[in-house]
Amino acid sequence: MFPDAFSIERLATELNKWLAQSTLKDIFSTSKSDIFFAFSEKKGFKIQFFQGQAFFQFPGIENFPLKNRMAQFTSLHSQKIIKANTHPGSRSFEIEFANNQRLVFKLFGKFSNIILFDEKVQPVSIFNLNHQKDLSNLLSSYVNNETYLKHTFNNGNEFLKAHNWFGTDAMFFLEDLGYFQSNDEESVYKKFITQYLEKEVCVIKTKDDKFELSAFPSSNSIETYGQIIDALNDFSRLYIASESFKIKKQTQISNLKKQINQKQKHLNDLNKSIVIIKQKRSYNQLGDLIMANLHSIHAGTSKVEVFDFYNNAKTTIKIKTDLSPQQNASLFYQKAKNEVKELEFKHKSLLDVTQQLDTLKQNLEKLKAADTNKNLKLFDKSLNIPLDKASGNKSQSPLPYRLYTIGGFEVLVGKNAKANDELLSKYANKNDSWFHAKDVSGSHVIIKNHASKTIPANVIEQVASLAAWYSKNKSNSLAQVIYTLRKYVRKPKGFLPGAVIVERETGILVEPKDF
């Protein structure tokens, strides 16, 4: 039950007594989602807008924030309160001031707002600027002039559809009084108003761990209250804390699931690429076949047909026309060596990603069981991080790089200056692409490209953004990044760790981003 018209009417009635003869000293906010009201005699309340709804809290003005205050509704400052007026049958109320201005508290669920009306009863300003239409509504639109509701419905469900401001608890109570069967609905309705506005209210915790304000105590009740102010104070605190925890937990679960899906895809891609390499014709065998047929291969030819003694059949081999048969054989042997390195790299990556995937799945199960904010904080550092950090165990991540997959390409990011040198010398082939933020210190970033595929422009841009992110330019809105092939990057003897000479580079301007 929150907010229905009757809990709001009770709030206005209690505020009218509590603030009688008081003067409004200050109205201020510290963010778009909260507003504080400080009155004389050290009285005050706070309204926090959470998921669009307005939640009243009464923390005591000694607990109000002292910094970053932004004044609101300044024409009301130092004004004496005349009265807090109820709006019967509406989810709103108003406070009337000595200067004839009125502050309307519109509590329409996610459309809640605070609206200032001038002495001519015209809306002049609002707190929540997302609801500009509130500046067009007259004060009369918030007041229901009906003294009672005529029942033209067969049951409570139909009744609630027509009067959504009424509230489920109120409808149940009205039903218990025999309203839908009565021939004198006016007297029943007035009896309902009198009794319902005086009922004690309680805060209950439902089976799905949601807090509600109710006029009907149950076994799930946490506390019962005679005053709506006291009930709202506890309810608002408990509800916001509980729902904030759920939102944060669900966000972290979604992030972990996203990481698990990404790593599972990466694992599948690694397995597929390993199978492809193993199923390919051996470059060593092609080199052997050329060397065994040197006498029959003529210079300038692009294809040769030879007897394949490995498979006991004839086969055709494509060779480079500008190289001699011996040089072509040597090229195949070199490719075989590179392929061995590539296979070794992929097996290491496979082990690394498998370990990370197992750890993230374990974390997901622990996260699902988390029931406090303290528990959630344990998982903060395991979210939105590169692959090699997910395990949290250095012995499982011996590689000098962070591993990403972008556009189907494996991307390696050096962890530090020394790791940059190791990455360049041991894990990057000459036809891989190299990236680095221009003129500042940062990570060397490598796109693995053993097959010399054309790298799409969007992949180049994303990897450049990653290089900018892992550099001193991380906090800039835009950063310059250079890239070239690995074979055009040299590490002269005596250079400091991470320092290199670059040739034939291309520049690109990107936004620093992590992926």
Hey, where are the domains in the chain?
A: 5-142, 150-198, 256-382, 399-510
Q: Which residues pair with 165 in a beta bridge?
A: none
Extract the tokens encoding 275: 């199978």
The span from the CA of 468 to the CA of 472, in Å, is 8
Extract the tokens encoding 304: 């040769």
Q: Could you tell me if residue 209 is left (phi over 0), alpha (psi between -120 and 50 degrees) or otherwise beta? A: left
Mean pLDDT for the chain? 87
If pLDDT is split at 50, 70 and 90, which confidence band does 451 have?
Answer: confident
- The 10s digit of each residue's pLDDT in 110-131 is 999 999 999 999 999 999 999 9
Q: Residue 382's pLDDT is what?
A: 47
Which H helix or E strand runs over 373?
helix 373-377
Counting residues of the chain whose pLDDT is more than 90, the rounded percentage is 52
If pLDDT is split at 50, 70 and 90, which confidence band does 384 have?
Answer: very low
85 backbone dihedrals φ, ψ, rounded to 5°: -95, 135
HSE-CB at 90 with a 13 A cutoff on CA atoms is: 20
If pLDDT is split at 50, 70 and 90, which confidence band does 207 have?
Answer: confident
Chain centroid to CA 256: 11
- The 10s digit of each residue's pLDDT in 160-199 is 777 766 778 888 888 888 888 888 888 888 888 888 888 8
Q: Residue 251's pLDDT is what?
A: 86
Pick the CATH number of 5-142 from 1.10.540.10, 2.30.310.10, 3.40.50.300, 1.20.140.10: 2.30.310.10
Considering only 132-146, 172-186, 376-390, which range has the smallest mean pLDDT? Answer: 376-390
**SS3 assignment, position 412:** strand
- The 10s digit of each residue's pLDDT in 210-264 is 898 888 888 889 999 999 999 999 999 999 999 999 998 898 888 889 889 988 9
Q: Residue 157's pLDDT is what?
A: 72
Q: Could you tell me if residue 148 is left (phi over 0), alpha (psi between -120 and 50 degrees) or otherwise beta? A: beta
The span from the CA of 508 to the CA of 434, in Å, is 13
If pLDDT is split at 50, 70 and 90, which confidence band does 69 have?
Answer: very high
Q: Residue 1's pLDDT is what?
A: 47
